[in-house]
Amino acid sequence: MQKKKVLLLATGGTIACTHSQEGLAPGLSGAGILKLLPELQEDFTIESRDILNLDSSNIQPEEWQFMAERVTEALPDYDGIIITHGTDTMAYTASALSYMLQNLSKPVVLTGAQIPIGQMFTDAKRNLQTAFAAVNAGLSGVMVAFDDKIMGGCRAVKVRTMGFDAFESISAPYIGKIYADGVHLEHSRAGEEAAAPFELKNKLCTDVFLLKLIPGTKPEIFDSLLALGYRGIVIEAFGAGGTHFERRNLLPKLKKLTDHGVSIAVCSQCLYEKSDLSLYEVGRKLLDCGVIPGRDMTTEAIVTKMMWALGQTEDPAEVKEIFARNYCGEVS
């Protein structure tokens, strides 16, 4: 049986960190990472490219676009692509790539580590093995592989800062899990043909702001966001999707924003389950202001979808239409 050909794109992150005078910093190349996993060469033909060398806190929308371009260039020549990435913003990158790499028929798997690959107790080797297992299983789409689990790229969220089980698939089943007898696919798209030809659509608008409401948020904050030129706002509201309108009434300011062509999406501060703006009066008043329901999307998925949607169109009505569509499993 012919070995699958895999490209490792290294971008830095904890997995590649070494000690420096100012603390841990990315320093190990992709080839250096692979050298510590010689057993993978038995089952795969592997090449590596160092495309970035950053702590993931410094990976921003411009880097997402750059990664999407590098993946697009490599796709015809490989059976799968693995991206090593810092964990802190990996969920944002995975979500953004999920929208930009349209109609993928091959796997693009992001992984990283909580402990550098060269240190004792590292989880890096296991996470990389899980990523290669996802490629070997014939899956398609953007995924995150971590802690013996494979999850959709737009459903992964980092939920722990120190634990090896740092990522969870939020409000969606895992694609697969690793057991002693191999990969168990639980919610798989293995072998599925893409609905349309692959297309790179990596235009983004970075004029997007995320606001987490607290009791007592001042309405005037929205005047500031309008003055700063934001075109999209994501609001993490309370519970199923509510905001206060007594004493400090936020609704007139939200209506002013939508009247000025600003797209506003509302999701829940709760990590699990969906928001439903039609359930309570506080949510229905939000709908009357013209906001977009976030339903069960993760914060990372909704923020990057807003950036991506505004990169495709300047028409708020078309942004709403984009949010109504499920592109990559980001919404149930």
| Distance from C-alpha of 98 to C-alpha of 94, rounded to nearest angstrom | 6
Tokens of 109: 């798997």
Pairing of strands 23-26, 17-20: antiparallel
Q: Which of 84, 87, 93, 111 is catalytic?
A: 87
Q: How far apart are the first and last CA of the chain?
A: 38
Is 87 annotated to bind a ligand? Reply is: yes
Strand partners, 268: 237
For 272-313, give the DSSP string. Answer: SS---TTSSHHHHHHHHTTPEE-TT--HHHHHHHHHHHHHH-
Is 20 annotated to bind a ligand? Reply is: no
Is 87 part of the annotated catalytic residue set? yes
Is 45 part of the annotated catalytic residue set? no
Is 43 annotated to bind a ligand? Reply is: no
Tokens of 211: 């606001």
Q: Which of 11, 14, 243, 298 is catalytic?
A: 14
Pairing of strands 101-102, 149-152: unpaired
Dihedral sign (CA 133, 134, 136, 137): positive
Residues making up the binding site = 56, 87-88
| Catalytic residue set | 14, 87
Residues within the annotated binding site for substrate? 56, 87-88
